[in-house]
Structure 1
Amino acid sequence: MSAPRGLSAEEAALWERLAATVEPLHPKPKLPLVAVPPVVPEKALQPKRVKAPKHVPVPPRQPPVPPAPPSVPLDRQGLDSGWERKLSRGTTAPDFTLDLHGASLDAAHARLDHGLIQAKAMGARVVLLITGKPRGAAAADRGEKRGAIRAKILDWLAAGAHGPDIAAIRTAHRRHGGDGALYLILRRRR
């Protein structure tokens, strides 16, 4: 955007002529002029130090706040009895399989994010997520030790961008990996 160019002499004269014809809607009351000698305090006679205004940086734009995680944990959300029966019997065939087993925590988190994007793009409803068997709560603190992915997976899903798209999480049937895998049931797109 360029700076305003200002008015030419001809434009300024036209503006003055137009401004003289305008009457304000709410005129200011005219106060009587009274000559009052100005009172100058002693401090005003001393020269003032003027501080240069500091440059105030503009705060960076905040990223949008992700939606709040559901009040019920994803592994406790209810499914209708038909879904529960199919999952417990292992008769549901996964639409998409995502294997995180054997990856580092960072690689597993990235693979989970990209895999869920791909599964949603394909229109998958049931994702088989292979995490490896859980090894207890202390495994999550060790980072790279066995069972760390499984210990972190619910936190990643609840706090991540895909949490609202997941209707429920269940432990997989024995034929699909048992304790070492999870079923993610994705919400139907509307």
Structure 2
Amino acid sequence: MARRRLSNDEQALWTALARTVRPLRPTARAVIVPATPSMEELIDLPVVKGSGKTRLTPPPSRMIVAPPARTPAAVLDSGWERRIRSGTISPDMSIDLHGHTLSMAHARLNQAIAQALTRDIRVLLVVTGKPPKSAGAGGASRRGAIRGEIGHWLETSPYADRIASVRIAHPRHGGDGAIYLILRRKK
């Protein structure tokens, strides 16, 4: 099947739409996004004639390089690692999500992160609840519903770029039933 080329209007609409989309799992590489010219700039663009078709061409220097998305780090510096491992880390704020419905837990998590960021908190303890001890037949353990969704919620959160790291909590703070969210400082 032969593909047709997008018209200038269609291309402008597609570019505007593409800019509003956020990937579910952002990568750390830079993405080149063509800049959308304004209507005034379109009027001033040179017209290229050839092969019976007339089209407007933006100058080649109109490309914007988007900065790489910031993702949580798997390992922090040695000071943070030592404090997490030994349990001497002290959460500045905590939120307990277990016992809530998925939608209520998701909303409370976003509210807690927003509140922590406005108060410039560095360590947020999120209690999700431990996985069930008995998984029924077969003995295979399954994760709790909130625990299973929290990774996706954090990746797609509007605050994802402000999360420096996500770590399992020390047994003193809940162990497998809780996580630490280490938040980035304000710039």
TM-score normalised by structure 1 residue count: 0.57
Aligned to 1:133: 130
Contact 2:72 2:163 in 1 (8 A): no
1:161 counterpart = 2:158: yes
Aligned to 1:181: 178
Contact 1:77 1:167 in 2 (8 A): no
Task: Please tell me the residue identity of whatever aligns with 2:109.
Answer: L
Q: Root-mean-square deviation (CA), in Å?
A: 3.0
How far apart are the structure 1 equivalents of 2:73 and 2:183? 14
- Structure 2 unpaired stretches of 5+: 1-12, 29-69, 136-141
How far apart are the structure 1 equivalents of 2:98 and 2:23? 28
1:175 shift after superposition? 0.7
1:83 counterpart = 2:39: no
1:151 counterpart = 2:152: no
Aligned to 1:171: 168
Q: Highest CA radius of gyration, 1 or 2?
A: 1
Aligned to 1:37: none
1:135 shift after superposition? 4.9
How far apart are the structure 1 equivalents of 2:123 and 2:179? 10
Contact 2:72 2:164 in 1 (8 A): no
Contact 1:69 1:163 in 2 (8 A): no
Aligned to 1:64: 20
Contact 2:128 2:146 in 1 (8 A): yes
Q: 1:74 to 1:183 in 2, by over 3 A?
A: farther
Contact 1:166 1:186 in 2 (8 A): yes
Moved more, 71-80 or 158-167: 71-80
2:111 to 114, 117, 126: 114
Structure number with the higher strand fraction is 2
How far apart are the structure 2 equivalents of 1:162 and 1:133? 25
Q: Per the alignment, in what secondary structure is the counterpart of residue 94 of structure 1? A: coil
1:64 shift after superposition? 3.4
Task: Please tell me the residue identity of whatever aligns with 2:129.
Answer: G
Q: 1:81 to 1:71 in 2, by over 3 A?
A: farther
The alignment covers a number of residue pairs equal to 124
Task: Please tell me the residue identity of whatever aligns with 2:76.
Answer: L
How far apart are the structure 1 equivalents of 2:159 and 2:104? 17
1:134 shift after superposition? 3.1
Task: Please tell me the residue identity of whatever aligns with 2:121.
Answer: A
Task: Please tell me the residue identity of whatever aligns with 2:152.
Answer: D
Task: Give aligned-pair identity as a percent.
Answer: 48
How far apart are the structure 2 equivalents of 1:159 and 1:64? 14
